[in-house]
Chain A
């Protein structure tokens, strides 16, 4: 089934919040997943795998590293910067793009022999990025060659979509009859 990017963004935000990211970080996760999907990458899969990862996994969180990259955008022009191994490195790409927009440069990310490049909008990247035991290197590059297609819809793997919804569910307050009436403010007859 295909989903609108707004649906993807809204679901990703709730899922990240359900996984106890702060609201501000959940917003970042949502924008990141949407950006990946708009560049024809499976952002839903990336977030689902991140949220489901093994508690023992020592790799850094890509959302945290990602926001550090955008928050440090001004310093990225100084040459290449190394970051520790991250889980789901594809989730760093949107933040690289957000940083590229801020400094108006093309930026590249290399991990495990794979390289992705972005000018803030277009992206060149393999379909998946892997990172067993590898650090990330980020630097300035010239252009984005053979950018990925732009997508207006997302077609996530059903299991991944279910995973996000399971996490999102944790943000919903269980309904009570009292809250149905009080919370929504109704209670009058509509049948007039």
Chain B
């Protein structure tokens, strides 16, 4: 029976949700892009094949993995390389990698592969065309790779403690899509049901990459050990994810795409509101929640980070989970509106990590209420950037005030409040964050401080007649045009603006990275600095041959350990 989506409990407000500290505590949920993909592939019974696997004893060669959906086939074309250790870098400015990939739209011919082999290994220095949907690369975890090849080649399984300590054999260092490096624009695939949710091509590319990596390490062990080699066990294979190193480049994305980011947040908030509005929870729903909470606790126990900020957050989260256990023991049924009560209790009791974990977890028992919202995640509003020049200045000021009222009270002449500046480096054309007062970068500043810019525009608007249309102001002040645009976009995108200062001396770019990566479905965030984070993707997921409607959904939660 279809649940009726009534929301007696309203969505949480943008003022609550859009703080960096909370965005930096988000967790994956049913609406995460990886889970949307695996559920669909299972539901539609996608067929997987490996028509080419041609890799020599040095680990050099290529392979092709095909994923065939109802109407389209997508192929990961993987190139394996023999990379000297001194060239192995996760930095986006690296020039060589252990493996490079493209997700090809269709099934590539030999001529396609030949052309791709001249370009994909070069990454940014190469060119692809619109038959490529993504371009990516990965490096080995040196410590784990050699251990795997060594053990497997001798007929032994890898040491579980070593496997758990790292969790992946390769980590991607960039996955480019949407027209980058000459690949297809998103518009090419946006109308295909399987590609209409955000980043599905990139998520599919990483899913197939994980299979390739498993096959490659087995292959290398066999080449080394011959008859005595064994394949890694399916348990170990399943526990492995693909690592990912994400640097600062991703942070501006959520500022530069206010409608898209709004949709992600608003869809999750709508899902949370729907579940909080459930008056009575069924026994099944309660059991599912308890079961996944236990598995989620296992995931938190496995979550290792070397960064003091994340270590403290993980410690808080463990306390939160203990408090939650106590509460659930005391009030197992939760009374009327049990999920709403739980969320309210969390708001008064738990850290942001714990609050957001609960917010994500209560969605799990309600696929009928939640999953359909995945069709609202994409940004299909190509006219959102159009400015309504006839809007009275009073209305523009009111919009600015509703998103940035707090920023109008900030002292922007205080150096601490504008200590940083976002800029693009000449060297690699990647976004960076610098010290405004110590480095010669202000002339190159990118428009990634919407709060400060809103305050500047508001100040300039003050002397204008409130009834005058904003076009007159814009003609006189083109420097505020981007701010007026954002203010008007906020009408359709109430969660499009971060309610925090993105250039203060205390801003943590990892909060922005985490917000985005949590929607991908990443887990085990491990910041390596305040602006660089490692994560795992697809750890626990079924490989193509094991993908079914039974395995496609809850893989992100590890089975409980005894």
Contact = CB atoms under 8 A, between A and B. Distances in A.
Say whether A associates with B. Answer: yes
Contact of A102 (B91, B386, B474): B386
Contact of A180 (B93, B389, B471, B474): B93
B90 A190 contact: yes
Given A185-B530, A191-B88, A173 B441 contact: yes
B295 interface: no
A25 interface: yes
Contact of B180 (A7, A25, A64, A188): A7
Nearest to B426: A172
A171 B479 contact: no
B437 interface: no
Given A72-B471, A191-B88, A101 B386 contact: yes
A28 interface: yes
A190 B139 contact: yes
A177 B105 CA distance: 39
A176 B423 CA distance: 13
Nearest to A182: B434
Contacts, number: 171
B478 A173 contact: no
B235 interface: no
Interface in B163-207: 178-180, 182-188
Contact of A27 (B389, B433, B482): B482
A98 B248 contact: no
A186 to B, nearest CB: 5
B509 interface: yes
A72 B391 CA distance: 11
B383 A184 contact: no
Contacts of A81: none
Interface in A44-82: 64, 67-68, 70-74
A6 B92 contact: no
A175 B425 contact: yes
Nearest to B469: A71
B294 interface: no
Interface string B472-495: 001100111111110000000000
A190 B91 CA distance: 8
A147 B247 CA distance: 44
B112 to A, nearest CB: 16
Given A175-B425, A190-B245, A191-B85, A101 B383 contact: yes
A21 B385 CA distance: 18
Interface string B407-451: 000000000000000011111111011110001110110010000
A152 B424 contact: no
Interface in B119-137: 127, 129-130
Given A175-B426, A180-B93, A24 B484 contact: yes
B478 to A, nearest CB: 4
B449 to A, nearest CB: 11
Chain A, interface size category, equals: 35 or more
A177 to B, nearest CB: 10
Contacts of B531: 184-185
B159 to A, nearest CB: 16
A71 B188 CA distance: 30
Interface in B230-258: 245, 247-248
Contacts of A72: 389, 471
Given A101-B383, A178-B439, A4 B185 contact: yes
A184 B250 CA distance: 11
Contact of A4 (B182, B247, B471): B182
Question: Taking each of B93, B130, B481, B483, which has the highest tally of chain A beta carbons within 10 Å of its own beta carbon?
Answer: B481
B318 interface: no
20 contacts: A2-B129, A6-B179, A6-B180, A7-B179, A14-B424, A22-B478, A23-B482, A24-B480, A28-B481, A72-B389, A73-B390, A101-B386, A171-B444, A173-B425, A175-B428, A183-B248, A184-B532, A186-B528, A186-B529, A190-B139
Interface of B: 85, 88-93, 127, 129-130, 139, 141-143, 178-180, 182-188, 245, 247-248, 383, 385-390, 423-430, 432-435, 439-441, 443-444, 447, 470-471, 474-475, 478-485, 509, 528-532
Given A71-B470, A172-B423, A179-B432, 16 more contacts: A23-B447, A24-B474, A25-B478, A70-B386, A98-B383, A102-B388, A152-B185, A152-B187, A152-B188, A172-B429, A183-B425, A184-B532, A185-B248, A186-B529, A186-B532, A190-B88
